[in-house]
Amino acid sequence: MIPTLLGITIVVFAISRMAPGDPVSLSMGPGGMMDAQRAADVRAARMKLYGLDKPVYVQYAIWLGRVARLDFADSIKHHRPVIDLIKERLPVTLTLNLISFVIIYAVSIPMGILSAVGRKKFLDRAGSVMLLMLWSLPSMWVGQMLIGYLCGPPLNWFPPAGLSSNDAEQFPFFQWLADRLWHLVLPVFCLTYAGFAYLTKQVRAGMLDNLRADYVRTARAKGLSNWAVIFHHAFRNSVIPIITILATLLPAMFGGSVIIERIFSVSGMGLLAFEAVTTRDYNVVMGVATIAGVLNLFGLLMADIAYAMVDPRISFESAV
C-alpha cells in the first residue's frame, strides 16, 4: 500500500519535472520588457523562491512533505490554495460517481443473472451485441446529443447544465432535492450506461461459466430447487470477479467524469482538472492528479478487502 502511494507521488512529480520549460519561465513570459541582466536576476530570485535551484530529489522531498500536509500551493489562476479548490469540488464528483456506481451494480447484477439463466439462443446473441454497442458509444457524443435533443426547445425535458437551477438556494428542502435530482439525471446516465454494459456482460459470462461448474451439478443432485442453485451456489461464486471489476471501473469513471463534467458544466474535480490543463495551472493539475491517484488506490484497497471477505481461499494478509 505505502509503496504504491509513494509510487503515485513519484510518477506525478516526475511528469511535472520532465516537462519542457519550467513554471518560472512560463510565469515570466517572453520578457521583452526587461533587459537581460534584470531578467536573469528576477529569474534567479524566482527559482530560489520556488526551490527550483535545489537538486531534483530534494525538490521531491520538499514537495512530498508538503503533499503529506495536503499543501499543494496555490492555484496560479484562482490565487487560492489548491486544496481548498479540491475540497469544494471533490464532493460533487464523488456524489456523481457514487450514485452511478450504485445504479450500475443494482441494475447490472439482476440483468446479468437473468440473461445467463434465460435460454433463447438468438436473444442471447442479439443481447450480447446490444450490450457491446452500448459500451462502444462514446460518452461525449451521447452527452452532446442528449443536450442537443433533449435540453433545448422544443422538448426541454432536462436542463442542459449545472447541478441546480439559478435560484435554487431559495427553494424549500424537498424542492431543492427534486431540482438537484432533475439536474443529475443526464450526467448520471452518461456516466452509467457504459459501466452498466460492461458489468452486465461480465456478470453474464461469469454466471454462464459457473452454471456449468461441477459443484452446480452436485447441488442439483442434492435436490435443490433451480433458484437455490442459481443464487446460493452459482451466483455466490460469480460475485468474486464482480468485485474485482470494481477496481477497473473506478479509474474509468474518474476519467469519464472529466468529459461529462465538461459537457454538462458540473463543477466537480473533472472540470477543475480540465480548466487547469487548459490554462496550464500546474499546481492544480498536480494536486488533482495526486488526489485522484490516492482515491483510486483507496478504492482498490476496498476492492481487495471485499475480495478477501467473499472468497475464503484468500487470506486477509495476502490482500493488504
Partner 1 sequence: MGENKQQKTWGTSYGEMVWKEFAKSKFTLCWLGFIILLFLLAIFAPFLANDKPFVIRIAGQLHWPIFKALTASDYSIFLAGIVALVQFLLVLRNRRCVDPSIRAGVLWRQITISVFIVLVGIILLFVFIPRRLDATDYKSMVASGKATGAVFAPIPYGFGRTDLKVREQPPNRQHWLGTDDVGSDVLCRLIHGSRISLSVGFVAVGISSIIGIIIGAILGYSGGKTDFLGMRLVEIMMAVPVFFLIITIVAFFPRSLFNIMLIIGLTTWTDDARFVRAEFFKLRRQDFVQAAVSLGLPLRSILFRHMLPNAIAPVLVNATFGIAGAIFIEAALSFLGFGVAPPTPSWGQILSLGVSTTGRFLWWLTLFPGLAIFFTVLAYNLVGETLRDAIDPRLRESV
Partner 2 sequence: MSDNGVLLDIKGLCVSFFTEDGIARAVQDVSFSVKKGETFALVGESGCGKSVTALSVMRLIADPPGKIVAGEIYFDGRNLLELSDQRIRAVRGNRIAMIFQEPMTSLNPVYTVGEQIVEVIRLHQKKEETEAWDIATEMLRKVGISDPAQRVTEYPHQMSGGMRQRVMIAMAISCKPELLIADEPTTALDVTIQAQILDLLDQLQEQSLMSILLITHNLGIVAERAENVAVMYASRIVELSDCKSLFDNPLHPYTQGLLKSLPRLGFTGKRLYTIPGIVPEPLRFPAGCKFHPRCPIGCNDKRCQTVEPQLRRLDNGRAVACWFAPGYERPDDPKI
Q: Which residues form the interface with partner 1 (CB under 8 A)?
A: 3-4, 7-8, 11-12, 15-16, 18-20, 128-129, 132-133, 135-141, 144-145, 147-149, 152, 205-206, 209, 241, 247, 250-252, 254-256, 258-259, 262, 273-274, 276-278, 280, 282, 285-286, 288-289, 292-293, 296-297, 300
Residue 218 contact, options partner 1, partner 2, none, Cβ 5-8 Å cut-off depending on partner type: partner 2
Q: Which does 222 bind (CB under 5 to 8 A by kind): partner 1, partner 2, none?
A: partner 2
Phi, psi of 81 (to 5 degrees): -60, 140
Number of residues binding to partner 2, judged by CB under 8 A: 21
Q: Are 201 and 245 in contact (CB under 8 A)?
A: no
Instruction: Give dist(CA 209, CA 234) in Å, integer.
Output: 9
* Rounded distance between C-alpha atoms, residue 94 and residue 268, angstroms: 8
**Left (φ > 0), alpha (ψ -120 to 50) or beta: where does 197 sit?**
alpha
Candidate ranges 34-42, 104-112, 142-150, 208-216; the one touching partner 2 (CB under 8 A)? 208-216
Tally of CB atoms within 10 A around 193: 18
Smallest separation (angstroms) from partner 1 to the CB of 244: 10
User: Within a 10 A sphere around the Cβ of 130, how many other Cβ atoms?
Assistant: 11
CB of 289 to partner 1, least distance (A): 5
- Report the nearest approach of partner 1 to the CB of residue 320 (Å): 13
> How far apart are CB 237 and partner 2 at their closest, in Å?
6
Residues 6+ apart with CB under 8 A from 261: 93, 96, 187, 267, 268, 269, 270, 271, 274
User: Which of partner 1, partner 2, none has residue 277 at its interface (CB below 5 to 8 Å by kind)?
Assistant: partner 1
Identify the three-state secondary structure at position 74: strand
Q: Which of 106, 213, 252, 320 binds partner 2 (CB under 8 A)?
A: 213
